[in-house]
A = this chain, B = another copy of it.
Amino acid sequence: MEWLNTYAFPRETAHLDSDAATKEYTKLCNRLVAHGTTTVLIFGTIYKEACQRLALCLQAQGLRGFVGKVCMDRQSPDGYSEATSDSLADTEAFIKWVQQLHDNKIHAVVTPRFVPTCTPELLQGLGQLAAHFDTPIQSHISESFDEVEYSSALHPDNTGGDTALFDRAGLLRQRAVMAHGTCLTDPELKVLGQRGTALAHCPLSNFFFGDRVLHVRHAMRLGVKIGLGTDVAGGYSPSMLNAMRSCVIASRALCMSHYATASPHSQAPAPPQTEPTPNRQNLTGVATVASAEPGNSFCIPAPESRKEIQAANLLDWKGAFWLATVGGAQALGLEKTCGTLEVGKAFDALRVDTRHAAAFDVFPADTPMDIFQKFVNLGDDRNIKAVWVGGKLVHHKAS
């Protein structure tokens, strides 16, 4: 909440001036397309007019855009909050306004900010609107220890976490995309999977705000659809390439957290072992390790544990690329429209130039896969020479 009060809320409040909003949104759209983003799922502000400007900016840029008017009717600062009825009325008006654009690339998204800033009445009303107009839904869910604690304190009788609160309001369904989910329990993940609700994995943001990273492969094993996001603002980078890199690193950080509780190997001399107990990460065993004198040794997880942990958790650059393309399309219910290059799908594509690349060197021995990997790990907007969305050229740079 400290970050919201210091940065997000004041910045969003400035968008009461729709012209100022247009200026910033135009810059944002330029950045997004330059970085090769073709489809955007995005929170606007609580102001309907600013959200309309955002939709128009995305439209002008030619992007595929899913835009939400943010809803928040409590735990919000003076001057940046809504009455429940206004929030619902403006959301409905925004949905209708987007519908009359008759642009199959621009969609309105029902957008409760997150549990702490929404009354149960608002959540309920938004669920009904989403069902009535059959819109996508977006929010944040179980983002951090702080958020879970805050949410629990506001709903002392609720034992099912953010998931139960959203579910009761009808906000978990196909084309609902919840950001983060780093603190979801297994039963909550299973509910998301059953409802067809997706998670937006925003690894860089998680590092800064989540206190945890999403257990991507674990969540997918429980049936949850996952797409990759930047959460630009929460994370500092608007680049999906950067999100892919952060995604790989997050999976490695996850392994490190598992090593910290995995069964130990020979380097810890005769540690006092506790009985292996099950834990939520589905490891074969957990042992607390400590030498008589702290720091004289360190715990090396046994090689078998490490292999098991890595097999269960690691994502490499190809996995990250999948999440950024196919995963994102699945999350938004667009898997028949885009996400891969196939006959019958829309032509959403980038032309990537690695020969005149400013960001990395290509050597004669590099295979096409090596070059692709270099682009994912080191490339940037300089390599992206052209961007198409739905067959239309929306960005172009001279070589």
Contacts and interface: CB of A to CB of B under 8 A. Distances in A.
Contacts of A236: 374, 377-378
Interface string A361-399: 101000000000010011011100000000000000000
A186 interface: yes
Given A27-B361, A145-B306, A288-B274, A259 B212 contact: yes
Interface string A8-33: 00000000000000001001000100
A296 B249 contact: no
5 contacts: A149-B267, A207-B252, A272-B277, A277-B290, A286-B290
B297 A185 contact: yes
B301 A145 contact: yes
Interface of A: 24, 27, 31, 145, 148-149, 152, 183, 185-187, 204, 207-208, 211-213, 236-237, 246, 249, 252-253, 255-261, 265-267, 272, 274, 277-280, 282, 286, 288-291, 294-298, 300-301, 303, 306, 358-359, 361, 363, 374, 377-378, 380-382
B294 A279 contact: yes
A285 to B, nearest CB: 11
Given A27-B361, A295-B186, A297-B185, A237 B286 contact: no
A376 to B, nearest CB: 10
A279 to B, nearest CB: 5
A207 to B, nearest CB: 5
8 nearest CB pairs, A to B: A186-B295, A253-B253, A278-B294, A257-B260, A277-B290, A236-B377, A280-B295, A207-B252
A134 to B, nearest CB: 33
User: Which of A207, A265, A306, A363 counts the most chain B CB atoms within 10 A?
Assistant: A207
Contacts of A289: 279
Given A187-B296, A208-B252, A236-B378, A288 B288 contact: yes
Contacts of A183: 298, 300
A279 B286 contact: no
Given A187-B296, A295-B187, A378-B236, A286 B288 contact: yes
B298 A280 contact: yes
Contact of A380 (B253, B272, B295, B380): B380
A175 to B, nearest CB: 26
A207 B298 contact: no
